[in-house]
Structure 1
Amino acid sequence: MKTKISTLLLLPFFALLMLTSCQQEVVDITPPADSEALSASSPLTALMSSASKMDGSKDNIIDNASCLSIELPVTVVVNGLEIIIDSEEDYKVIEAIFNEFEEDDDYLEIIFPITIITAEHDDIVINNADELKEFVDECKGENENDDDIECIDFKYPISFSVYDVNFQVIDVITVENDRQLYKFLKRVKNSEFLASLNFPVTMVLADGTEVVVNNNEELENTINEAKDACDEDDDNDYGDDDFTKERLDEYLQICPWVVHEFKRNNQDNTVEYQSYALNFKEDGVVRMRARNGDILTGTWSTRVTKRGALLKLEFDTLADFTLEWIVYDIEYGKIKLYEEGGNRIIMKKNCDVVIDITKERIENYLQECLWRVARLQVDDVHNEKDYIGTPLKFFANNVVKIRLNGEFVTGEYEIGVRNSGFFLQIFLQDRPNLKLEWLITFLEPGLIKLENENNRMVLRRHCADGDDDINYIDDVLLTWEWEVALYQDGDVNKTEEFFMYTIDFLENGWIKVTDPNNGIIDGNWLAYRHEGLHLGLHFGIEAPFDDLNHRWKIAEITQSRIELKDLNANGEIERILVLEKKE
């Protein structure tokens, strides 16, 4: 939370204090009340000084000391791997190396010389481990009370009026960060001058909430109320994994949690339990939704011990989850559980997951907007390309329609129940793959996952209404006729294959392509958003446009030019397609 800088920028106003007999530059103001003046012994001066101390806990995974911090960049050797730490984000790299293997002995070696920053914002060069140990030994132990207040900060800049002994202003000082504030207050505590803080001042709490204070009394009360209101995380680890029981309970109940990794007794069971969802209730009941839609009920409880925070799970019919787990790491939206013997769970928060699936809830979700067939794998063959630009629309009374060449073709759908869970079947002419009995394994407002045996289907919701970017893309495409200005396939330029073709994007997702002989090629298109903006194009099997059947990433779009890219799994460009307005 603390702001850190490497140099002190206080204005050289102290020399003015020696020249108080020269009154030409003195500004007469109303003298401040005694309660508004900061003095060497005032409690507010001490509180402000503590709040401006350097917080050294963020890099405890390196130096094991909360009263000092190592100036970055620094080179360290972690479990034999040399890495350069040049930002606070890199502390996660160290933790990831430590957490790679649970039963190994972790070690970290610092490459000297380094510069440390003390709690008083002093920079000191350290040449070896023995010198560093002397400073570390002066710090208090893990989670012991110290003078550093980390739960509240000043929102900079702030300013002070500096007075002579007659309470006449001799300077106004602007302070930009914690280092400057601490050094300024040190002068106040040394009785070198009197000063008062110029209000209003904004304070920032640990959760980001801002509080405006208007006088010394409000400021002192605000700091006192906030100073113990957060976990200062003064342990020798990275991350806030030392929650109190109350905070951990509240965190678990905030949303459902989805299993992303699972290991039990040194056996990786991720494939078996991935996408299982847990919902922690305040009455100690946990409800788990299995991948087949089954709902399992168990109990949960937490406690905090010398080993850290513990989460106990008990299920009558699910022994793999039944264990008291150590909560060994908590990140934003992620919880990692561990227990000796090769047991590990990683869960991610997902507030959109629905634990209690009902037929009515499935129907309601399906009838929201259009649905894209994002994935369709049947008998190890990927068929999703056949559905590019052809979304589905579900209606009441078991009616489903698919949009083809600008028109909706009508079919039926059925939602049923089996012992394994809810299933979905879609009956559309010439679409036999959709007719399979699909088990609904995952359901949230924008995503539905379906399975049967070795087959997989994923439906993603498409709601264009209210999306300004999609509406803009649609308007541009519909306004003009287009031609292929560039088609680059790897190192091969194939643009000339599309010479004299005219592409016309029409309402309701129909593409009409006119060839040089005035022949017509029909196709389908859909602009949509998913991890960026995309344009789905499908021209059937007609050459040369069959080569353009793809969900293209929109790299750039103007009123007269559209640049599309096909990226591989590594983010590298494999193909480029540029459409330009036809003159």
Structure 2
Amino acid sequence: MVSFKKHLSFLSVVSFFLLFSCQSEIMEESYNTQETITKNTPLTTYVERVVVQKTAQDNIIDNTDCFMIKLPYVVTINNIEIAINSYDDYALVKNKCNERSNDNDVVYIHFPVTVIFNDYSEMRIDSQTDFNDLVDDCKEKSNVLLKINCLSFNYPITIKTYDSNKQIAGSVSIVDNKAFYVFINNLEDSQLITFGFPLTIINSSGQTRIINDNDQLENLIKETLNSCPENINTVSDFNKSLTSGSWEISYFYHDYERTQSYSGYVFTFKSDNTVIASKLGSSLNGVWSTKLEDGVRKFELDFNANAFDDLELNWKLFEFNNSRIRFRGGTSNSGTETDYLYFTKIN
């Protein structure tokens, strides 16, 4: 979401750096959702979650979203062996489980198997004990925000890149979800990227959407998060999550990224609607409020400190779980950019 003075286009930015590299350190770092984005831009993280490996389709067998079992393999249920050679074979297991309503169906996996994680990495599992240990380990790490379903990109996609440290421009052709995920995951903080619009995106109904800029792409992902049944938030009590434990600001954008301005502050939200922001033995007091309005949860902060005025915007809850809370606000920089406030739990 990084852009530069006068909102130059991406190619102009590259030319500027190549011609005037000695001035690169004094360039203003602001953010513009219409132009370039970086590794930490909200849009980048949302796209990454669209293209991660889908791992929920075999939950009737492994009972976890943490990974999927790599095809092919064999399971036994009610003394019947079933070969899982394709995604369609999951229906065979489901049908077998539904044959009787009064029995306790247990799916036995024939080991060894290989499991595939969300990041496309793989692991061989040799026994039921090892499998159970892995599932238990996944449960302890279950508070990550999961894959965004019901969207798929039409490939290939061209992405232009520019490294502000090395002053090198380039272009990458992305051919599938795995390549897209690896590309985003390997981005460095100094790299700027622009997608080669228009993009063609397909929803779960097979309908296509033509996307012409970053705002359209982010809005489509937000719309899908709210409407796709596979993306329904499993945590329904926002107040309970907010008032459990302490939080830090992991991302804040208003006119430009200001995350570092709140580095070191620990936020504790109380059930009496007070909030304390502590840092190095000193504390700032404030209040918080939330309400549902037309199906949208709104959130406000009010601190007795001018240093926190920028946090006192009209926030709308974007998504949350027990360890992460993400708000989107209105627009800044003359209505061209979206405000963001992210909290991450620290205990």
TM-score bracket, normalised by the shorter chain, equals 0.5 to 0.7
Contact 1:29 1:169 in 2 (8 A): no
User: How many Å apart are 1:51 and its aligned residue?
Assistant: 1.0
Aligned partner letter, 2:226: D
CA contact (8 A) 1:200 1:214 kept: yes
AA partner of residue 108 (structure 1): V
**Aligned residue number for residue 106 of structure 1:** 105
**Shift in alpha-carbon separation, 1:98–1:106, aligned structure 2, 3 A:** same
Superposed CA offset, 1:420-439 (max 9, x none):
xxxxxxxxxxxxxxxxxxxx
The Cα of 1:207 is off from its aligned counterpart by 2.1
Match of 1:215 in 2: 213
Counterpart CA distance in 1 for 2:61 and 2:209 is 34
How much does 1:148 deviate?
1.3
Query: Residue 191 of structure 1 aligns to which amino acid in structure 2?
Result: D
- Among candidates 23, 30, 51, match of residue 12 of structure 2: 30
Normalising by the residue count of structure 2, what TM-score does the alignment of the two structures yield?
0.54
Q: CA–CA distance in 2 between the matches of 1:129 and 1:233?
A: 30
Q: What is the Cα deviation at residue 91 of structure 1? A: 0.9
- Counterpart for residue 224 of structure 2: 226
- Per-residue CA deviations over 1:342-366 (Å, capped at 9, x if unaligned) read xxxxxxxxxxxxxxxxxxxxxxxxx
Is the contact between residue 56 and residue 68 of structure 1 (CA under 8 Å) also seen in structure 2?
yes
Q: Partner of 2:201 in structure 1?
A: 203
Using the alignment, how far apart are the partners of 2:153 and 2:130 within structure 1?
A: 33
- Structure 1 residue 193 displacement after superposition: 2.9
**Cα distance in structure 1, aligned partners of 2:144 and 2:39:** 23
Superposition pairs of residues 411-490 of structure 1, within 5 angstroms: none
Residue matched to 2:135? 136
Question: Following TM superposition, by how much is the alpha carbon of 1:130 offset from its aligned partner in structure 2, in angstroms?
Answer: 2.2
Indicate the residue corresponding to 1:151 in structure 2.
150
Q: How does 1:347-426 map to 2 (within 5 A)?
A: none
Give the secondary-structure state (helix, strand or coil) at the position aligned to 2:12.
coil
Supply the distance in 1 between the matched residues of 2:104 and 2:214 (Cα, whole angstroms): 51
Q: Which runs of 5+ in 2 are unaligned?
A: 1-9, 15-30, 233-347
**3-state SS in 1 of match to 2:53:** coil
Cα contact 1:120–1:182 (8 A) shared by 2? yes
- C-alpha separation between the residues in 1 aligned to 2:208 and 2:86? 26
Give the number of equivalent residue pairs.
205
Deviation at 1:108, TM superposition (A): 1.1
Aligned position for 1:70: 69
Deviations 1:539-575 (CA, angstroms, capped at 9, x unpaired): xxxxxxxxxxxxxxxxxxxxxxxxxxxxxxxxxxxxx
CA distance in 2 between partners of 1:213 and 1:85 (Å) = 37
User: Which AA in structure 1 matches 2:55?
Assistant: G
Aligned partner of 1:116 in structure 2 is 115
Q: CA deviation at 1:70?
A: 0.6
The alpha-carbon deviation at position 99 of structure 1 amounts to 1.9
1:196–1:72 distance in 2 versus 1, CA, 3 Å: same
CA drift of 1:192 comes to 6.1
Q: Distance in 1 between matches of 2:189 and 2:127?
A: 37
Q: Is the 8 A contact 1:160 1:195 kept in 2?
A: yes
Aligned amino acid, residue 192 of structure 2? L
Which structure has more relative contact order (CA 8 Å, sep 6+)? It is: 2
Letter in 2 for 1:135: L
Instruction: Give, in whole Å, the separation in 1 of the partners of 2:194 and 2:205.
Output: 28
Alignment of 1:485-496 (within 5 A): none
Q: Quick check: 1:151–1:228 contact (8 Å CA) kept in 2? A: no
Quote the RMSD (CA, aligned, Å).
Answer: 2.7
Say which SS state the counterpart of residue 147 (structure 1) adopts: coil
| CA distances 1:430-464 after superposition (whole Å, capped 9, x unpaired) | xxxxxxxxxxxxxxxxxxxxxxxxxxxxxxxxxxx
Shift of 1:62: 0.8
2:44 matches 1:45: yes
Q: Secondary structure at the match of 2:186?
A: helix
Q: CA deviation at 1:156?
A: 1.8
Q: Contact (CA 8 Å) 2:165, 2:190: kept in 1 or not? A: no
Change (3 A) 1:89 1:139: same
For 1:183 and 1:64, the matched residues in 2 are separated by 26
Report deviation, 1:208. Answer: 1.9
Q: Rg larger in 1 or in 2?
A: 1
Instruction: Looking at secondary structure, tell me which structure has more strand per residue.
Output: 1
Give the superposition deviation at 1:167: 9.3
Give the number of the structure whose residues are more often helix, by fraction: 2
In 1, the alpha carbon distance for the partners of 2:92 and 2:202 equals 29
SS of equivalent to 1:72: coil
**Distance 1:146-1:34 versus aligned 2 partners, 3 A rule:** closer
Please report how far the alpha carbon of residue 220 of structure 1 lies from its aligned counterpart in structure 2 after TM superposition.
Answer: 1.1
CA contact (8 A) 2:162 2:170 kept: yes
Tell me: CA distance 1:57–1:63, structure 2 relative to 1, closer, same or farther (3 Å).
same
Cα distance between partner residues in 2 of 1:45 and 1:37:
11
Counterpart CA distance in 2 for 1:106 and 1:54 is 28
Q: Aligned residue for 2:276? A: none
- In 2, the alpha carbon distance for the partners of 1:84 and 1:219 equals 39
- 1:252-291 residue CA offsets vs partner (Å, 9 max, x unmatched): xxxxxxxxxxxxxxxxxxxxxxxxxxxxxxxxxxxxxxxx
Determine the C-alpha separation between the residues in 2 that align with 1:145 and 1:229. Answer: 20
In structure 1, the residue matched to 2:176 is: 177
SS of equivalent residue, structure 1 residue 104: coil
Q: Secondary structure at the match of 1:228?
A: helix
- Which secondary structure state, in structure 2, belongs to the residue aligned with residue 55 of structure 1? coil
Deviations 1:25-56, CA, capped at 9 Å, x for gaps: xxx94337854222122111111111112221
Quick one: distance in 1 between partners of 2:38 and 2:166?
Answer: 13
Secondary structure of the residue that 2:230 maps to in structure 1? coil
Asked whether the equivalents of residues 187 and 193 of structure 1 are also in contact (C-alpha less than 8 Å), the reply is no
Deviations 1:79-136 (A, max 9, x none): 1112211001111111222222222221111111111110111111111122222332
Unmatched tracts of structure 1, length 5 or more: 1-27, 235-583
Cα deviation digits, residues 329-381 of structure 1 (max 9, x gap): xxxxxxxxxxxxxxxxxxxxxxxxxxxxxxxxxxxxxxxxxxxxxxxxxxxxx
Contact kept in structure 2, 1:152 and 1:227, CA below 8 Å: no
Report SS of the residue matched to 2:160.
strand
8 A contact 1:151–1:229 mirrored in 2: no
Does the CA-based 8 Å contact 2:73-2:84 persist in structure 1? yes
Q: Which residue of 1 aligns with 2:164?
A: 165
SS at match of 2:210: strand
Q: CA deviation at 1:169?
A: 6.0
- Report if aligned partners of 2:164, 2:190 keep a CA contact under 8 Å in 1: no
